[in-house]
Structure 1
């Protein structure tokens, strides 16, 4: 990997624009409503101003970047679906038939699917083919990837954002597809937080109690075998991560380096966000929490990130679906900021 590009990307991630944030807060207080009455939407308005440097931003072009990769750990029987579903779902995304496609059409977002590690040979005119390898190795028996492969995958994410930015995209949503990927996500969260897999492992695609117990044991085994170093995010990803997770780390860092908001979806995306935070503390300020996933470890990782999701929908689809749903709230506050009357313009008396 071009290590300079990764370092340069991280170095470009700057603190939020405090002046714009204060101006946005002042503007909100002048609007014809009680101060603070829009709750989290007002916090979002201030954050968006800090990210973009604009009090009244808008995001007409937004992309859902769906990173797709397979996982060797599925050999351990930790998921309800066979690995063949990953390439099948990638083709479904490209045909426009998945949940994220439907919700993205409604939200005016474009779905971009990146093959970063699918264990199949895929070809489609709209597929972004950036395969690092055909799936990870089984992390229960040894490292999932090499450090070089992790770095290559992060670079794929950074370059995907760069390409999108050159086409006018200014807001990004993290999406993913990879049968078995809640397993490495739980391992990543445990590695960084020290929490037991009993706390971080969830039911993923809907496994029963017996498989859940086994999944906890597999994650613990992966941690014991690999001993990931939480002080070294690349090491954590290489030992217990996934290609699509590493790709999303690059998306998050790339978006933050370009002062673009990045909407974080559910558990897998949040695990990637946790890695990104450990690579750049400033990056977390560019993250917008979308929803609380039904996956039990999600609330734990959200707490570690310190972001506040807006929706509580009991969803566990993945793909970027919760992120896309939250775009309606982003649009709502952008319109409030640009269209709502102030007390002065409306001739309405403010409170004493």
Structure 2
């Protein structure tokens, strides 16, 4: 009899593929627009990406949504963060009051915004001493994350918030990709040199604690991850199943994506990286996952902020594609010889 993780593996086997007809439809319209071919560069690629994963041309951007998943971590007891755990609840209150950076960005770009409170007052297990979650709780949290697309959206941004979760992300990367713990650890919320050393020590201790159980990416996630990691992985997978393109935020959000990629290298084909973070070795992670970031702005805030700015760019890209006049409509001459 299979365990809860078998349900996730079965879902991965049912992932839909990109829609080539939608891509062709975008290409046909693009060729008629009043600009040289390829003149909008990556903006043109982003419209094609939207269309192929929504399965329609032109694609839409009528119900974009940024979801932030918030969790708390037992490993913070090891002094790995510059801020106390109380900030978790305080930041959720700030989101609710509209006072966070992500609130302003979503309002500026016309994006929906939703926060998922993942038992914020109940920290996961300390990963240096035992598993963060048991298998059943991990899968249940993934299922909860899948609800991100339940209300309907045509482009989903994935973000997170949780004191201590850059330590968790670094542990996940070290387990999935190998190498020294120090390679994957960054300063997170701004820890000093001693705090950085504690983070490295925590990652090393976590890897040592779970050695021998890290061959399965789902085991890696439930042992070294957190509720926000599991929920984001669930949201990304659910979006694929429902043909919703996904914009991934930064260093921690990408850790959830990395788990899915380790399970199936095609699992992130419907995703783009919103930006490359200044945290840790994010640029290397994106290269390993084959995700070219839309933006590089030196951001490391989390809370979906980089994804939101990238979604603003995507919104502009689609506006050009759908609103720009064709050569025939504008009475503009095409290329000589055409």
- Shorter-chain TM range is over 0.9
State the match for 1:158 in structure 2: 146
Conservation of the 8 A alpha-carbon contact between 1:6 and 1:155: no
Aligned-residue offset at 1:34: 1.7
State the match for 1:66 in structure 2: 68
Evaluate the alpha carbon distance shift between residue 322 and residue 187 of structure 1 in structure 2; reply closer, same or farther with a 3 A threshold: same
Distance 1:335 1:100 in 2: 22
Which of 249, 253, 274 is the matching residue for 1:290? Answer: 274
Q: What does 1:215-234 correspond to in 2, within 5 Å?
A: 215-227=199-211, 229=213, 231-234=215-218
Which of 221, 225, 232 is the matching residue for 1:237? Answer: 221
TM-score for the superposition, normalised by structure 2: 0.93
The question of 1:114 aligning with 2:125 is answered no
State the match for 1:100 in structure 2: 102
State the match for 1:141 in structure 2: 129
Aligned-residue offset at 1:53: 1.6
Distance 1:238 1:297 in 2: 22
Tell me, what secondary structure is at the counterpart of 1:66?
Answer: strand
Distance 2:232 2:28 in 1: 34
Distance 1:2 1:202 in 2: 33
Which of 205, 213, 217 is the matching residue for 2:189? Answer: 205
The question of 1:194 aligning with 2:182 is answered no
Distance 1:235 1:117 in 2: 21
Distance 1:294 1:330 in 2: 22
Tell me, what secondary structure is at the counterpart of 1:137?
Answer: coil
Which of 150, 169, 185 is the matching residue for 2:169? Answer: 185
State the match for 2:51 in structure 1: 49
Structure 1: tracts of 5 or more residues without a match: 120-133
Aligned-residue offset at 1:260: 0.5
Evaluate the alpha carbon distance shift between residue 153 and residue 228 of structure 1 in structure 2; reply closer, same or farther with a 3 A threshold: farther
TM-score for the superposition, normalised by structure 1: 0.90
Distance 2:213 2:277 in 1: 27
Conservation of the 8 A alpha-carbon contact between 2:25 and 2:58: no
Deviates more, 1:21-30 or 1:256-265: 21-30
Structure 2: tracts of 5 or more residues without a match: none
Distance 2:213 2:328 in 1: 57
Aligned-residue offset at 1:61: 1.4
